Structure 1
Amino acid sequence: MLTVESLTKRYGNRTAVDGLSFTVRPGTVTGFLGPNGAGKSTTMRLLVGLDAPTSGRALIDGRRYADLPAPLREVGVLLEARSVHPGRTAFRHLMALAHTHGIPRRRVEEVIGTVGLQDVAGKRAGSFSLGMGQRLGIAAALLADPAVILLDEPVNGLDPEGVRWVRTLLTSLAAEGRTVFLSSHLMSEMAQTADHLVIVGRGRLLADTTVERFVREAGLGRVRVVTPEADRLAGLLGDGAVREAPDTLRVTGTDAAHIGRTAAAHGIPLTELSPHTASLEDAFMELTRDTVEYEGRAAAA
């Protein structure tokens, strides 16, 4: 289990993480989301002792990473796929890690097979593509068979087959009762992989909820209505009804059942009554729109 308690990290005048608290529990895949600059990578670095908090605590099974007697056996970490000596082969890189914890050679060979690098295990890591580097990083995270898995953008650079493989791997690890915590910018992939979400913006917690609830609540109260008597129905529904077209309303603040009953009671025909179904991306963009640090603009025509 991962526990973050009132965690704060400042770099000079800039606050990267601001009083953050959440818990990542075993048996689920927890997605860590936020706009660029939201503090996700800093939080992960604090969890594994690469940075020291200004205040608060980041704990792995109740202990600081620095206090773990055998860190690889407690938590598997992938923060940067390229953090491998480029002149060392994949096999030698993993063997070097294995020697630090008394892990046998057969386990190294096993994880190389698990991540699909058996054909390139003797090649130097400096020649690897980004996707191959990701697989090597995941192999290192799995090497000591830890109960906690912490991965930052694990599908970055992977092809569709590789993305599906990571999804299957992570869900199977969670099904074994492990704690799985990962960040990703791919909303469609997170929607298929994660059970729970921790969402941050400008270093602060915005949401700590299940994927299903987050998406469901994002879609509540928005209904598309098509009727030849749009003006009349809008008058009955009040300020929540906004005209999108001569025969189309977007209604907020109520549900489809109430709209249907209102129309029926006044003899207003409806040709469409569609509650809005939000995607994870829709819900995320709506929640974080005021916390985006780097925002693009459309080019002028």
Structure 2
Amino acid sequence: MIEARSLTKRYGAKTAVADLTFSVRPGVVTGFLGPNGSGKSTTMRMILGLDAPSSGCVTVNGKRYAAHAAPLREVGAMLEARAVHPGRSAFHHLLALAATTGIPRSRVEEVIDVAGLRKVARKRVGGFSLGMGQRLGIATALLGDPATVILDEPVNGLDPEGILWIRTLLKSLAAEGRTVLVSSHLMSEMALTAEHLIVIGRGRLIADAPVAEFTRSAARDVVFVRSAEAARLAALLAGPGVAVAPGERGGIDVTGLASERIGRIAAEHGIAVAELTPRQASLEEAFMELTRDAVEYQPTGRYAAGAAQEGRAA
């Protein structure tokens, strides 16, 4: 388990992380989300003892990272996949780490196979593609067979097969009872992989909730209605707290009314409905809504309006 209590980090006058408190439980994949500049990287560095908190504390399995006798067996992390000597092979990179931490050579062979690196294990890392570098970074994180795994943007550079592999791997690690914390900007992938979310913005906690609860809390559900008399139905549905907008295929999107109520109104007025489909807000829509005020880098000028509109429609 990872536990952060009133975690704060200042760099001079700038506060990167402010009074952050959360827990990452074992047995579930926890997504760590936030806009650029939100403090995610700083928080992960403090978890791993790479940066010291200005105040507060963070522990992994009850101890600070540096206090563990064998840290690699407790925590496996990938913050920067390409932080490897380019002239060293993948095998010798892993072997060197294993030799300095008492990990047997057999485990090196295991993680090479787990990461799909067998064909390139003896090649120099400097010639690796971005995706192969990611696989090596993940293999390195798993080397100590750790109880806790922390990965920053693990699917970056991976092809569809690789993305499916990492998704399956993360879920399998959690199913084994491990603590899994994954930072990513890919909302679609987080929606398929994570069960719980910790969301921060400008260094402060925005949300700490299961994915479904986070999505429900951020935006009202929309019901798509398709009918030959869509315009007439839209006029009947409009009212306080109800928004009706043009939808795809000549239908309408209704916010503020349950599908049962919409169907009842249509039936009462003799309007035939060809489709009545509730649509829950996506994780991306929920994320955009809840972090809108926490975005540090806002576009201005010619393309600003378009970017804002895309964010509302995402």
Q: Same fold (TM over 0.5)?
A: yes
Name the counterpart of 1:189: 189
- Asked whether the equivalents of residues 188 and 284 of structure 2 are also in contact (C-alpha less than 8 Å), the reply is yes
Q: Distance in 2 between matches of 1:268 and 1:56?
A: 63
Following superposition, the deviation at residue 137 of structure 1 comes to 1.0
- Asked whether the equivalents of residues 220 and 276 of structure 1 are also in contact (C-alpha less than 8 Å), the reply is no
Following superposition, the deviation at residue 244 of structure 1 comes to 4.4
Name the counterpart of 2:132: 132
Q: 1:239 to 1:74 in 2, by over 3 A?
A: closer
User: Is 1:289 aligned to residue 292 of structure 2?
Assistant: yes
Structure 2: unaligned runs, 5 residues or longer: 307-314
Name the counterpart of 1:112: 112
Name the counterpart of 1:24: 24
**Corresponding residue pairs, total:** 298
Name the counterpart of 1:151: 151
Q: Distance in 2 between matches of 1:238 and 1:273?
A: 21
> Aligned match of 1:278 in 281, 284, 288?
281
Q: Distance in 1 between matches of 2:221 and 2:185?
A: 27
Q: CA RMSD in A?
A: 2.4
Name the counterpart of 1:170: 170
Structure 1: unaligned runs, 5 residues or longer: none
What amino acid maps onto 1:168 in structure 2? Answer: T
SS, match of residue 229 in structure 1: helix
Q: 1:106 to 1:234 in 2, by over 3 A?
A: closer
Between the aligned residues of both structures, percent identity stands at 62
- Asked whether the equivalents of residues 153 and 185 of structure 1 are also in contact (C-alpha less than 8 Å), the reply is yes
Name the counterpart of 1:86: 86
Q: Distance in 1 between matches of 2:199 and 2:253?
A: 28
Q: Distance in 2 between matches of 1:295 and 1:181?
A: 28
Q: 1:248 to 1:126 in 2, by over 3 A?
A: closer
Q: Distance in 2 between matches of 1:146 and 1:109?
A: 16
> Aligned match of 1:240 in 206, 222, 242?
242
- Asked whether the equivalents of residues 241 and 249 of structure 1 are also in contact (C-alpha less than 8 Å), the reply is no
Superposition misfits of 4+ residues, deviation over 2 angstroms: 212-232, 237-245, 247-265, 267-277, 295-301
Q: Distance in 2 between matches of 1:231 and 1:154?
A: 45
Q: Distance in 2 between matches of 1:270 and 1:64?
A: 64
Q: 1:268 to 1:170 in 2, by over 3 A?
A: same
Q: TM-score, normalised by structure 1?
A: 0.90
Q: Distance in 2 between matches of 1:283 and 1:175?
A: 27
What amino acid maps onto 1:74 in structure 2? Answer: E
Name the counterpart of 1:209: 209
Indicate the larger mover: 206-215 or 18-27. Answer: 206-215
- Asked whether the equivalents of residues 35 and 295 of structure 2 are also in contact (C-alpha less than 8 Å), the reply is yes
- Asked whether the equivalents of residues 78 and 152 of structure 1 are also in contact (C-alpha less than 8 Å), the reply is yes
